[in-house]
Chain A
Amino acid sequence: MSVIVLVEHTGGIIKKQSFEAVQYAAQIAGKMGTTVTAVALGSVAEAEMENLGQYGAQKVLHVADSRLDELHSRAYAGALIAAAQKENSKVIVTLHDIKGRAVAPRVAVKLKAGLVAGALSFPDTEKGFVIKKAVFSGKAFAYINILSDVKVIMLMPNTFPAKKEEGKAIVEQLDVSFSEKDFGVKVKSVNKVTGEVPLADAELVVSGGRGLKGPENWGILEDLAKELGAATACSRPVADSHWRPHHEHVGQTGGTVRPNLYIAVGISGAIQHLAGVNGSKTIVVINKDPEAPFFKAANYGVVGDALEILPRLTAAVKKFKEHHQ
């Protein structure tokens, strides 16, 4: 009856967001009076898996097939279902991210399970199995009641920060027989932008818009990002003008970010941009136009010229860091 949770790893190192998912699953399991079984796919170090005990997993089922180092949604779904069947699980948790969104829907269909994508709350079992999620690109929330016996929850990353405790999980190997069809997608090449924090995972984001006037001024934005350890992003016009690569574009048609801190520099804050950033916990807006709509959605604002303010802010962050080592 244990709660199953899919953990993700990059090159064998388990993702921080997966700790959040394990801890989330552990709290649900605690309420249900059961335990948590994490499922790890592909080449993951034993110690990494044992450490999932620090976030509440009692057991890890490891499907060691190295083909699972790449995302194969059929195979992943098959492995997750095999684990759920072994454990007789009624609740399956994944992250609401690229992998989770490729796998969880398949699992839900296969098990005839209701699913909540982008879960923002623990299930409320007073009136059924009710979970909150954002709808209309963050302009409202919906409370979804899962009616089926088996439930699939895709947890929105960076919703419940994980806290490490004492614990060690038992690792068991799980053999799953895959067919050729499970690996129908062939990976031809992978192009990783090294040394950068992936935007979707970033806790801190510094984002620039047209107010920076041109790509030659991006250096001062990157200085601030570097000092903070933040990822960089941009508004749509900036990506469309090729000042910045397209994967940095956040907004309605670009990516969505949910950092703890989003610093918007020279971005007016059109509704399409807000749709991609309104999951941010704290928003700082720097803009020389005091009428910019973004100020209405911000927690902190600085009215002034970005090109003057950014170096000052970078220096202030640097000073702060020196005092808080």
Chain B
Amino acid sequence: MKILVCISQVPDTSTKIVLKNNNTSVNSDGVTYVINPYDEWYALIRAIELKESGIATEIHLITVGKADVEPVIRKALALGGDEAVRIDAESNDPYETAHYIAEYAAGVGYDLILCGKESIDYNNGTTGAMLAELLDLDYIGFATGISIEANTAVINREIEGGEETDACNLPLVISCQKGVAEARIPNMRGIMAARTRPLKIITPSGITAVAEILSYELPPAKAGIKLVSPDDMDELVQLLHTEAKVI
């Protein structure tokens, strides 16, 4: 069973966002880039667990980006995975990203495609479902548990106000969130081994863009906090009613 894990490079959570070029782009100077947490902690680790338990035979990692994303894909390889693919393109539109990944995946044929529930940079959470459509596969989003029995995946997924258990024949696409896997960190052996694993670079066929980012803006600074005496909760309730108008 072959698994493809989609990996996205994102600025570390603690990054302070600085804009440049008249607010048309985000300044990457001094930014630490990491594997998107949902892709790493849940999608990738679950794939590794499935391989360790003998269910999966091969794990491939895929990312869309220029050469500067290679350290991050190498880090993902250090956690586990047999080979990585970098689609040599720059894209921050999910439609474009999904097309590139689908183009490659269709040529290989995977039993399971895993991605994180969303990336922490563009917060779309749409690539997985787009991939499923492009590859004519089933899709389950917001998974909190994945097990494989023969040719069937059994998935726990979040629903509004609870959880649902679904079953679906492979192949399919699943987006993963908390609950899917147990966290782990790469060990030295993994880091050394990752250096020798293949990293393929693929030039995609171009597609016509359907959306573009025109500009960015930073949220206005908070107006400052109003402190209320711990002995006067009536005042807090009044403020929430008359000023904030939330109760």
Contacts and interface: CB of A to CB of B under 8 A. Distances in A.
B130 to A, nearest CB: 4
Contact of B95 (A108, A139, A324): A108
Q: Is the interface of B mostly helix, strand, loop or mixed?
A: mixed
A158 B15 CA distance: 27
Nearest to B129: A105
A185 B174 CA distance: 12
B216 A143 contact: yes
Contact of B130 (A106, A198, A228, A300): A106
Interface string B123-136: 11111111011100
A116 interface: yes
Contact of A141 (B219, B237, B244): B219
Chain B residues touching A, range? 35 or more
A282 B247 CA distance: 11
A186 B167 contact: yes
Q: Is the interface of A mostly helix, strand, loop or mixed?
A: mixed
Interface in A297-322: 297-305, 308-309, 312-313, 315-317, 319-320
Contacts of B215: 142-143
A317 B247 contact: yes
A201 B159 CA distance: 12
Contacts, number: 269
A198 to B, nearest CB: 4
A106 B136 CA distance: 10
A20 to B, nearest CB: 15
Interface residues of A, number: 97
A312 B233 CA distance: 6
A101 B212 contact: no
A59 interface: no
Interface in A66-97: 71, 73-74, 77, 97
Interface stretch (A37-45, A46-54, A164-172, A248-256): A248-256
Nearest to A316: B233
B197 to A, nearest CB: 27
Given A98-B141, A136-B17, A320 B237 contact: yes
Interface stretch (B70-78, B82-90, B220-228): B220-228
B246 A260 contact: yes
B49 interface: no
A32 interface: no
A228 B247 contact: yes
Nearest to A73: B139
Interface of B: 11, 13-17, 19, 26, 37-38, 41, 93-95, 98, 120-130, 132-134, 138-142, 144, 154, 158-169, 172, 177-179, 209-219, 222-223, 225-231, 233-234, 236-241, 244, 246-247
11 contacts: A104-B126, A105-B127, A136-B121, A137-B123, A184-B169, A185-B168, A189-B164, A260-B246, A299-B225, A301-B226, A302-B230
